[in-house]
Chain A
Amino acid sequence: GEDVEQSLFLSVREGDSSVINCTYTDSSSTYLYWYKQEPGAGLQLLTYIFSNMDMKQDQRLTVLLNKKDKHLSLRIADTQTGDSAIYFCAETPQTGNQFYFGTGTSLTVIP
């Protein structure tokens, strides 16, 4: 199956920007996603980007896609303690219903 890789941990200070990175291998990916998982909870869809886009901004969230390098990033501006969670990137190939998730990045926001 497809490989989706993320760094496991990230710590930032409250008020700083966070950048979470993701690399994937499937060149036929159509949609790429970012999910947030708070402790003891399910996954919450934060945002997604279609593969023909380079950037998508939604309030404090900015998604950048470098399709050539198969690199996806999520920038969180003005990071708050409530942003502490595990962030998963995911991708879906052009056909089928499969979702492939990354290993998750645990974001810790230090007050």
Chain B
Amino acid sequence: DTAVSQTPKYLVTQMGNDKSIKCEQNLGHDTMYWYKQDSKKFLKIMFSYNNKELIINETVPNRFSPKSPDKAHLNLHINSLELGDSAVYFCASSQAGLKYEQYFGPGTRLTVT
């Protein structure tokens, strides 16, 4: 019973390509997040999203866009991939009124060559 799952686990692609990472949660949460963890393990929030509000970290390039087909899914689309996009991307979820319990997915390691 995986709470927060991501696919793929590994993604290797060339510069300039467009790719997507999928995230699903079966916890019934109403808020989902995307984080980027760089090679130094620094973790930065990219987006938080519920059915009412999308909050974008202002440092995130507009090549990155979250897409939520329903409450249980928040996919990350990345256009025109660059070398600096190489990182581990984590999806997470929480309940809006209970944000002290945030659960993370296992991560997607993206390598751009």
Least CB distance from A46 to B in Å reads 12
Q: Per a CB cutoff under 8 Å, which of B4, B41, B50 touches A97? A: B50
State the B residues within 8 Å of A (CB).
Answer: 4, 31, 33, 35, 41-45, 48, 50, 53, 55, 90, 92, 94, 96, 99-107
Interface positions, chain A 1-42, Cβ under 8 Å from B, are 31, 33, 35, 37, 41-42
Annotate A32-66 by CB proximity to B: 1 below 8 A, 0 otherwise: 01010100011111001010000000000000000
State the A residues within 8 Å of B (CB).
Answer: 31, 33, 35, 37, 41-45, 48, 50, 86, 88, 92, 96-101, 103-104, 106
User: What residue in chain B is nearest A37 (Cβ atoms)?
Assistant: B41
A-B interface contact total, Cβ < 8 Å: 61
Q: A42-B105, A86-B41, A88-B43 are in contact. List 15 more A-B contacts (CB 8 A).
A: A33-B100, A43-B43, A45-B101, A92-B100, A96-B48, A97-B33, A97-B48, A97-B55, A97-B94, A97-B96, A98-B45, A98-B55, A101-B43, A104-B42, A106-B41
Question: Contact at A41–B107, with CB atoms within 8 Å?
Answer: yes
Interface-central residue, A33, A97, A103, by most chain B CB under 10 Å? A97
CA distance A103 to B38 in the complex (A): 11
Question: Contact at A42–B104, with CB atoms within 8 Å?
Answer: yes
CA distance A13 to B78 in the complex (A): 43
Question: Contact at A42–B106, with CB atoms within 8 Å?
Answer: yes
Question: Contact at B105–A97, with CB atoms within 8 Å?
Answer: no
Least CB distance from A96 to B in Å reads 7
Question: Contact at A45–B103, with CB atoms within 8 Å?
Answer: yes
Interface-central residue, B35, B103, B104, by most chain A CB under 10 Å? B104
Interface-central residue, B42, B90, B94, B102, by most chain A CB under 10 Å? B102
